[in-house]
Chains A and B, each alone.
Chain A
Amino acid sequence: MAATSEQTLKLWENKVTAKVKVAGDGPALVYLHSGYGLVWDDSLDLLAKDFTVYAPEHPGTSAGDPDSIKPLDDVWDLVLYYYELFDKLGLEAPAVVGHSFGGMVAAEIAANNPRRVSRLALINPLGLWRDDTPIKNYMVTPQADLDKLTFADPHNPARKHVAMNLEDPDSIIRITWALGCTGKFIWPIPDKGLRKRAHRIAAPTLIIWGKQDGLTKPIYADEFKSLIPNARIAMVDNAAHMTPLEQPAVVAKLLREFLKH
């Protein structure tokens, strides 16, 4: 694993504490995690060879700091909060990569102020809704069903990072609270108007999607591509919704090629 350090920043009039894991060397890459909280997976290790990876923890999800979620109420607050975070980290226009919930946030950051994002990569992002392909509410789906929807191989050992272990109260608390804090911005339907703002995204955009995704089905890849002016799709086989956990090497390679050229 790459050597990671942690930066603690005070933002939003000192009302929110941001914890950011940092690793590697090279151009800045901001990575926004899924609804399950930050998992430093192998794809981030691989990316840290070529980039300085900044992986902030969504407010409220950092260990010992559940209250940092309170001052931020909606997507508008959250997007402005991230511009403050970029400022504090000295990042004018980093590459931004987001997975699932983090993908929605990344797209919003790029749409609201296109000048703050140089390149955008969305991995199985949330944020759009089609009535003909509704997205299952993963916050209330039993784990066994979720394993089938979100992993191409439901027995993939990497599921331990995002599946609650009923024998381990701390894992239940950590994951439940992460889902609650991220859920604040997507409940009850993960569509907060990105569709009408996505045309503003100016950054070249790569849409990465697990072919077997049963949660946000691949038709959503086409939907994102149709709305973002300069976007292309890369489908990843043997991956469902947890693509970075399922195919870390493939994801890292796709991102490296996209971000370096």
Chain B
Amino acid sequence: MKISMFHLMPYRDLPADFEQKYQSVWVDPPFWELADPAKVGQYYNWTLDELIYAAKSGMDGICVNEHHQNAYGFMPSPNLMGSVLARATNGMNCAVVQMGATLPTTNPPIRVAEEYAMLDTISGGRLVAGMPLGTPMDANLCYGVTPIEHRERYYEAHDLILKAWQSRETFAWNGKYFKLPMVNLWPRPIQQPHPPVWVPGAGSLSTWDFAAKHDHCYCFLSYYGNKLGKRVMDGFWEFVDKSKLDPNPYRAGFLQLVVVADSDAQAERDYYPHIRYFYDKSLHILNEYQMIPGNQDYRSLSNSVKNLLPMQLDLMNSVKNWKYKDFVDNQFVIAGSPATVRDQLMEAVKKLRVGNLMVLLHIGSMPHELTLKNIDLFSREVLPHFRNVWDEDGWDNKWWPTALRGKTNAENIGRAPRPEMHAGK
């Protein structure tokens, strides 16, 4: 299987009373009260260093994503980050996983096609092309996309990008949302017919439909762990079965928060404050921003109000009173000694049937050195045990860059300098 490190690039130093004083971490947290541009510069550089360190440590891929006006993740342009990462990881068997540039807010969307083609060529064909719909916060509030048109706009942008990559001739695009008289991309991606496409989702049926129809990899990105994730992924595999698609585990991606220390007790000491920070501050989002009228179609709206909303509200209220043990027991975070993490992660991967795993190895307020330590321990003590998962079943990871299939980044395991040395530089 393939395991990639995901990074959100959060602000790591929000005030202790942030969630009491401000209504939301996303859309309207006042920058000048909360943040310092010089610190932000430091965070961007640390984020890049941490991801490059992960690549040098043997991770199969490194992932960045796009959010706007958001103190828990603010890479408004994931492709600027991706460009640095592509250049810095040349020669390694490590995928550049862009999870990615948001389609309906990039206008015209061929900009995504162009930039992804740039990344694919700079990286020598190591790009995974994530195609996110974008959240209501990002797309509707920060970028002004009309909520009821959000998804339709996404579908059109996707079709345009796929055609722009593959068409041999200059073509005109007369869409509902985008009109372009002469489309003829320079450059084109190295990977043919196009780079593998991953579609991040939050469990909605329409996204499964979409991923299945186009034979893309579906990635369930949640911060609520694999136990809740199982509900969604069980539904996904049932859907795959009904759609008469093969149950190739690489068809599915999943995001899991993971922290490793020398012992279970050490993990609690090292990471609990950062887990607390993440769930208390980073996920402190105004409900009204997450449920913008029109963003969900009528059927999904009925389903979420009747079935999901009560569960989500319960959960969000109970998390406030959780202790370390609750986060770990519920596997929101898989945390502990290498042996504990190996066992729990293996069980999760098998039960979710996930071939393309993403692990969030930097969480909330984690400082740089601790992040490097987590990456180092994960790569040395956990990652090698997962290389051959799914191999005996003979599945082909069709959703991995062609040039990297059948190869691993294992030769890099143990090559990166230990974090103590790195930090001391």
Residues of A within 8 A of B (CB): 66-67, 69, 73, 137, 139-142, 169, 172-173, 175-181, 183-184, 187-188
Contact = CB atoms under 8 A, between A and B. Distances in A.
B148 interface: yes
A191 to B, nearest CB: 12
Contacts of A140: 141, 286, 288-289, 292
B144 A188 contact: yes
B301 A169 contact: no
Contacts of A139: 147, 292-293
B146 interface: yes
Contacts of B294: 177, 179-181, 183-184, 187
Contacts of A141: 288
B156 interface: no
A74 to B, nearest CB: 10
B146 A177 contact: no
Nearest to B290: A140
A188 B292 contact: no
A16 to B, nearest CB: 15
Nearest to B307: A169
Main secondary structure of the interface of B (DSSP, over half): helix
Nearest to A178: B293
A141 B288 CA distance: 7
B144 A183 contact: no
A187 B288 contact: no
Contacts of B286: 140, 142
Given A169-B305, A176-B293, A188 B288 contact: no
A187 B144 contact: yes
Contacts of A187: 140, 144, 146-147, 294
B416 interface: no
Given A140-B292, A141-B288, A176-B291, A188 B148 contact: no
Interface in B290-339: 291-295, 297-298, 301-302, 305-306, 309
A180 B293 contact: yes
B301 A173 contact: yes
Contacts of B369: none
B306 A169 contact: yes
* In the A-B complex, the 7 residue pairs with the closest CB atoms: A180-B294, A179-B293, A66-B298, A180-B293, A188-B144, A187-B146, A140-B288
Interface residues of B, number: 24
Nearest to A189: B144
Interface in B255-293: 286-289, 291-293
8 contacts: A141-B288, A169-B309, A173-B305, A176-B291, A180-B294, A181-B148, A183-B294, A187-B144
Nearest to B287: A142
Contacts of A184: 146, 148-149, 294
Main secondary structure of the interface of A (DSSP, over half): helix
Nearest to A140: B288
A137 B293 CA distance: 12
Contacts of B146: 183-184, 187-188
Contact of A180 (B147, B289, B302, B306): B147
A66 B306 CA distance: 17
Contacts of A173: 298, 301-302, 305-306
A183 B147 contact: yes
A237 B5 CA distance: 60
A66 B303 CA distance: 14
Contacts of A137: 141
A176 B301 contact: yes
Contacts of A69: 148
Given A69-B148, A173-B305, A184-B148, 8 more contacts: A139-B147, A142-B287, A172-B309, A176-B293, A177-B293, A183-B146, A183-B293, A187-B146
A182 B81 CA distance: 38
Contacts of B149: 184
Contacts of A177: 293-294, 298, 301
Contacts of A66: 297-298
A222 to B, nearest CB: 28
A149 to B, nearest CB: 14
B305 A172 contact: yes
A243 B106 CA distance: 40
A142 B298 contact: no
Interface in B123-153: 140-141, 144, 146-149
A178 B291 CA distance: 14
Contacts of A178: 293
Contacts of A142: 286-288
Interface string B219-261: 0000000000000000000000000000000000000000000
Interface in B369-424: none
Nearest to A142: B288
A5 B35 CA distance: 59
A69 B148 CA distance: 9
A188 to B, nearest CB: 4
A169 B309 CA distance: 10
B120 to A, nearest CB: 33
A225 to B, nearest CB: 29
Contacts of B305: 169, 172-173, 176
A82 to B, nearest CB: 19
A111 B290 CA distance: 36
B301 A188 contact: no
A169 B310 CA distance: 10
Nearest to B289: A140
A207 B289 CA distance: 32
Nearest to A187: B146
